[in-house]
Structure 1
Amino acid sequence: MSEPASESSAQFESSGRRRSAGGGDDLSLTEHESRVREAFGSGEHTVFTAAEPVRGSVLAALLLEAPGGSRGLWVTGATVTGTLGLEFAEVAHAIRLESCDFEQPPQLSWSNLRFVSFTGSRLPGLHASAAVVGGDLSLRGCAVDGEIKLYGAKIAGSLRMAGIRVNNPAGPAVMADHSTVGGDFSGNDGEFDGPVHLYHARCAGGVEFDDARITAPGRIALAADNVLVDSAFFARRCHVEGEIRLRHARISNALVLTGSTLRNPGAVAVRLDRATIDGGLFLGRGLSVHGEVRAVSARIGRTLSLTDAGFEAPGAVALRLDAVVVDGVLDGGEGLRVLGELRMEDATVHGPIRLRGADLYNPDGVALNAIGVRADSTFHCCDGFYAGGTVRLDNAVVASKLCFDDAALSAAGGTALTCWRAQAAELTLRWARPPDGRVDLRHARVGELRDDPDTWPERLDLNGLTYEILEPQLGAARRVDWLARDPDSHHRQPYEQLAAVLRGQGRGDQARLLLLARQRRDTARGSGFTRAWGLLQDATVGYGYRPQRAAALFAALLVVGTVVFGLHPPAAAEPPKAPPFNALVYTLDLLLPIVDFGQQNAFVPRGAYQWISYVFIAAGLVLATTIAAGLSRSLRRT
């Protein structure tokens, strides 16, 4: 044995004799403990093959009372009896007690340690609250029947729990609130029967729970409010029973839950309210969630990915993204399946929103709630998009295209789509089939509106809708059918809006036909005098939109009057004073109620011709009134 080793053994034996003499633990070394002592002095590895017992008190004394020159304690395969008590101790040596079987939880609270590894060991728990570890703390492959207490611990290296099995269903499996980890926190392939607590924890590296299983039904399975992670947070292909909670978390890279199964039916499965995730939130690629996913007021950098994911909360909100801010794309393309409501009220997405091919199903409720959403690019609900339930886009603002091409909406006769006061540079409504339910576009503002006559819905609310371009360019008669689908078609604005667009396209004749159809609709709804007056205006001047009809009627009356009174001139009222009779001017005097040519007062017809003159006077009054009303209406609309 080397000289340092001899000195170490001598000091240890002297300490043991003093402690025995003082009535403390009997540290008379067994054969196996002597092997550990000898190896510790030389820094060698002690391997036991038959779970030989070694007292924890012996190991503690060895670590505390040996000089600092040793390379560390490295024991494999031992049964550690009693308690390894190092509370409040400062240990200058590395501790490696691997594949060991501990009878009592190691007591490391408030200690200052260099490096600790219990890799592959069986422990009834671990008490290391407020411990300071200068290197790694390794629990890889451990089987722990009890709580791992790391509250307030400071680990300069990594906390390694890959492959660990922790069984503590009555309490937390891991209690690491307010802990600090200078490297990575790795729980890959771990099994935690009981919650994992990381409240206010700080990790300078990444957090990894890939292929892990956390079981805490009805409770918070992963409690990480206010956690700070300087790299990424991975929980891929993991299985969690209970809630994942990361409210106010700050993750400098991505949060990735792809391929995982998360179950908390009837409650919240994932809660990310007000979290900041700089590298993107990835909830796709086979993710299956039973319960609500919440990210209210969260800030997500780069991407929010929902592709090929399934969210289930029947009859409730399955995915709640209210007031979320996404700095890039919100990608919920093909493969997204939501049973329940997908809700993103007042969300802001600085890139495109892609729901191409998504399948949203919430019968008798809202399938997609995007009220007040702001999309700085496109919003795609197209290419196979299906919503079984109402789609709500009230007050939404889409900087580019809002697309429903090849989409299918089914609301069982209720409201399929509502875009009340929505704004979009372009709105396309070329559905895969006519929507089953009402489509509400009231007071929406659209730059370009594109639709397909073959897929117009049976009910279409259009009052207040404004647009600059309408495609395809159909005839007025076809568009009248489109406008007539509004059950509140007594509103004039939809007709006037379409007429303005038609005139802008140089199709003034079609605009007049459209407005004429509107007036005829209003007349048909009238009764009594109102209806009769409308029919008269239609017959005479086409409500002002067919002035040539009035001109033709006036000319016909003028010709008839000229002929009749030319063949049967009336007698002069005062022959000496009467001007020469002119049948044409006399007829004009009868027909024009305002203009006076002097003929009507100078000549008085007798008998039947007097009644004929009355007919001409009445016809002139009616014609003038209808022309004035029609022209006034036409000029006002223009």
Structure 2
Amino acid sequence: MSEAAVGGGLYLGHGFSCTGTVNLCGATVGASVELCDATLCGPGVGAGDYALHLGCAQIGGDIQAEHGLVVHGPITLADTSIRGSVVLKGARLNFPSGTALAASRTHIGGDLDCRDGLTAHGAIDLSDARIGGSVRFDTAELTAPDSSRTVLRANGIDVGGVVNFRDGFTAHGRIRLSSATIRSALDFSDALLDTAATEEALVCRGMTAAALLLRLRDAPLGIVILSRSRVGLVLDEPARWPASLVVEGTVYENLRPALPATERIPWLGRDPHGFTPQPYEQLASVYQRHGRDADARTVLVAKQRSMRSTLALPARTWSLVQDAAVGYGYRPLRAIWLLTCLLAIGSTLFSAWPPTPVGGGPYPRFQPAIYTLDLLLPLVDLGQERAYSPSGAMQWAALILIGTGWLLATTVAAGASRVLHGT
């Protein structure tokens, strides 16, 4: 029936059974194709040995296979245009040698409905498909083919509604959604991503979605990659964060739950490739946008601390000094408290062991606090340091105060520069 034209519907259900290929390649069907309760057994595993070939077809209605479809062998819907929905509820697809359902570049006007216990042993390929409605895999179980660890390829897919992998969905293998465009939510609530710790569990590079719900059934052992994605809302569960999470280049507007920065920062430290600055800057910008400036500063301090391990020893030492002194410029009150403590110590010391006048006079009246401040503040001349000189152990005290003052001033300047330039 290759390139056949059917003005109405095509009914292959209600106990229909076929061993061999049902070849509808390039066919035109005016209404729906029904496959309910059908059993299709392909002729083999060679190239083109499909159980059902609906490639390059034009379907004027739905593809209905929601009751008891069993397929042993591959199905192709590649390059097919379907005005209605594709309903595969409860279907059993079995092709462990490769791709069980090939629907790349398929255009579906309605939904792709794979709910209610659909099982597939073999990959599902939805690459570059265009789906006007939603994609639903709720309660489905997908198992990767024996020759690959990818269970679902949907790179470049464009979906007008939601994409649901929820309510007990299970994937024994990798899901690929890179460069996908999802105009509503991508939902993994109560889903199980079953892969080994060193394998990719979910790959969403360059994805765009209105919302991403990652409230998984259990924390995935495999790697979840969200790099360079754009998401309006990310909703997750800290107890079920992936062991390995890549969010480099990811942009989002809101995070739920709205955790304090100290609880959200560990989310950024799960990248198996190590430190990158953008995830910290992105998280800080979200806190700032919602008026949580203290949390934003905490994240930016954490960024500098994480970056410290990537620096050479001299730079690492200088980083430690900046952290302790002014929190990299994000904790300026530390400098004031440190200056106050040094001023109190110096004033006490020089009150007990005052310095002696130098030069021919006249001398300003010695004031221990102003003298200490004159030592601490570089490039500021209060007249006391020039007029008096300490002796004995007080010379060392004065040198320590002068050095500390220069170090503090340099640290404050570096931190202020960092804050002003947003680094």
Shorter chain as denominator, the TM-score bin is: over 0.9
Matched, 1:270 2:55: no
1:259 counterpart residue number: 37
1:221-300 superposed matches below 5 A: 224-236=1-13, 237-264=15-42, 265-266=44-45, 267-300=49-82
2:152 counterpart residue number: 368
1:442-481 superposed matches below 5 A: 442-481=227-266
2:315 counterpart residue number: 530
CA contact (8 A) 2:96 2:122 kept: yes
CA contact (8 A) 1:343 1:370 kept: yes
Matched, 1:315 2:97: yes
1:352 counterpart residue number: 134
Bigger-Rg structure (1/2): 1
| TM-aligned CA deviation for residue 580 of structure 1 | 4.0
| TM-aligned CA deviation for residue 524 of structure 1 | 4.7
1:199 counterpart residue number: none
- Secondary structure in 2 aligned to 1:411? coil
- Secondary structure in 2 aligned to 1:311? strand
1:2-13 superposed matches below 5 A: none
- Secondary structure in 1 aligned to 2:417? helix
- Secondary structure in 1 aligned to 2:266? helix
Provide the rounded CA distance (Å) in 2 between the counterparts of 1:347 and 1:595: 70
Task: Report Cα offsets for 1:373-420 as digits up to 9, x if no partner.
Answer: 100111111111111000011011100111000101112221110111
Provide the rounded CA distance (Å) in 2 between the counterparts of 1:596 and 1:318: 82
Provide the rounded CA distance (Å) in 1 between the counterparts of 2:75 and 2:420: 57
| TM-aligned CA deviation for residue 589 of structure 1 | 2.2
CA contact (8 A) 1:315 1:341 kept: no
Query: Going by fraction, where is strand more abundant, 1 or 2?
Result: 1
| TM-aligned CA deviation for residue 489 of structure 1 | 3.7
What amino acid does structure 1 have at the position aligned with 2:181? Answer: V
| TM-aligned CA deviation for residue 507 of structure 1 | 2.4
CA contact (8 A) 1:315 1:365 kept: no
Provide the rounded CA distance (Å) in 2 between the counterparts of 1:462 and 1:390: 18
What amino acid does structure 2 have at the position aligned with 1:443? Answer: R
| TM-aligned CA deviation for residue 477 of structure 1 | 2.4
1:55-454 superposed matches below 5 A: 224-236=1-13, 237-264=15-42, 265-266=44-45, 267-362=49-144, 364-413=148-197, 414-454=199-239
What amino acid does structure 2 have at the position aligned with 1:227? Answer: A
In structure 1, which of residues 544, 552, 565 is the aligned counterpart of residue 329 of structure 2?
A: 544
Task: Report Cα offsets for 1:183-206 as digits up to 9, x if no partner.
Answer: xxxxxxxxxxxxxxxxxxxxxxxx
Gaps of at least 5 residues in structure 2 are none
CA contact (8 A) 1:483 1:489 kept: no
| TM-aligned CA deviation for residue 482 of structure 1 | 1.8
Provide the rounded CA distance (Å) in 1 between the counterparts of 2:138 and 2:34: 22
| TM-aligned CA deviation for residue 453 of structure 1 | 1.3
What amino acid does structure 2 have at the position aligned with 1:398? Answer: I
Task: Report Cα offsets for 1:126-182 as digits up to 9, x if no partner.
Answer: xxxxxxxxxxxxxxxxxxxxxxxxxxxxxxxxxxxxxxxxxxxxxxxxxxxxxxxxx
What amino acid does structure 1 have at the position aligned with 2:25? Answer: R
Provide the rounded CA distance (Å) in 2 between the counterparts of 1:245 and 1:577: 111
Task: Report Cα offsets for 1:103-141 as digits up to 9, x if no partner.
Answer: xxxxxxxxxxxxxxxxxxxxxxxxxxxxxxxxxxxxxxx
1:565 counterpart residue number: 350
What amino acid does structure 2 have at the position aligned with 1:408? Answer: L
Percent sequence identity is 38
CA contact (8 A) 1:418 1:439 kept: yes
Task: Report Cα offsets for 1:23-81 as digits up to 9, x if no partner.
Answer: xxxxxxxxxxxxxxxxxxxxxxxxxxxxxxxxxxxxxxxxxxxxxxxxxxxxxxxxxxx
Give the RMSD, CA atoms, in angstroms: 1.8
What amino acid does structure 2 have at the position aligned with 1:490? Answer: F
What amino acid does structure 2 have at the position aligned with 1:616? Answer: L
CA contact (8 A) 2:269 2:275 kept: no
Provide the rounded CA distance (Å) in 2 between the counterparts of 1:410 and 1:351: 28
- Secondary structure in 1 aligned to 2:2? coil
1:591-606 superposed matches below 5 A: 591-606=376-391
- Secondary structure in 1 aligned to 2:121? strand
Higher RCO structure, 1 or 2 (CA under 8 Å, sep 6+):
2
- Secondary structure in 1 aligned to 2:20? strand
Matched, 1:492 2:270: no
| TM-aligned CA deviation for residue 579 of structure 1 | 4.0
What amino acid does structure 2 have at the position aligned with 1:400? Answer: S
Gaps of at least 5 residues in structure 1 are 1-223
1:513-524 superposed matches below 5 A: 513-524=298-309
| TM-aligned CA deviation for residue 460 of structure 1 | 0.9
The change in CA–CA distance for 1:315 and 1:634 in structure 2 (over 3 A counts) is farther
Provide the rounded CA distance (Å) in 2 between the counterparts of 1:332 and 1:386: 13
Matched, 1:555 2:340: yes
Task: Report Cα offsets for 1:335-389 as digits up to 9, x if no partner.
Answer: 2111100110000101111111111101651111111110011111111111100
